[in-house]
Every structure is written in C-alpha cells, then in structure tokens.
Amino acid sequence: MRKDEYVGTVVPAMQQFKFGIWGHDSVVLHEHEIRKSVGPFGLLRTNRTLRIRFFDELNALMEAALTCPPVVPRS
C-alpha cells in the first residue's frame, strides 16, 4: 500500500472507528490494554454490546487492510 493510499483510506477509517467508540480519536490501540480491558478499554469489560461491536469493527478494519494489494518496490 502506498503512503497516499494509507493516508486516504486507513487513517480515516481508524479515526471513524475511534470516534464511534470513544467520541474522539486520541486513543492508542495497545494490544495489552485491549486484551486486559484496561485504560480506555475498560468500558469493554462492562458493556458487552460495545465489546462485540468494538471487536467486530476492529476485525473488519484489519481484514480490509490485509486484503489491500501489496506495493512492489521499483528497481
């Protein structure tokens, strides 16, 4: 994926995801905090509906990013 594609697709999608969950985009997605449901992810422990939505949307974002065609470096 080229940088302009990343900035034009992945960044806005992640911002929209974060705004949908927290109402802002300043949360950093740390694996440890997500798995342990601590820090800003503590709400996932207490709200089952939100937890399901969070993981469904995050998985969809990751899957979409993985299906992007790779960039072949120019020689």
Taking the C-alpha atoms of residue 71 and residue 41, their distance in angstroms, rounded to an integer, is 33
Q: Torsion angle of alpha carbons 42, 30, 64, 24, nearest 10°? A: 60
Taking the C-alpha atoms of residue 23 and residue 4, their distance in angstroms, rounded to an integer, is 26
Closest to 59 (Cα-Cα) out of 28, 13, 25: 13
Give backbone dihedrals phi and psi of 2, rounded to 5 degrees, phi first. -75, 160
Per-residue pLDDT band at 54 (split at 50, 70, 90): very high
Helix axes 11-22, 48-66, angle to 10 degrees: 180
Q: What is the mean pLDDT of the chain?
A: 89
Query: Of 7-11, 47-51, 63-67, which gets the smallest average pLDDT?
Result: 63-67
Whether the pLDDT of residue 73 is over 60: the answer is no
Write the pLDDT tens digit of every residue in 1-33: 778 888 888 899 999 999 999 999 999 999 999
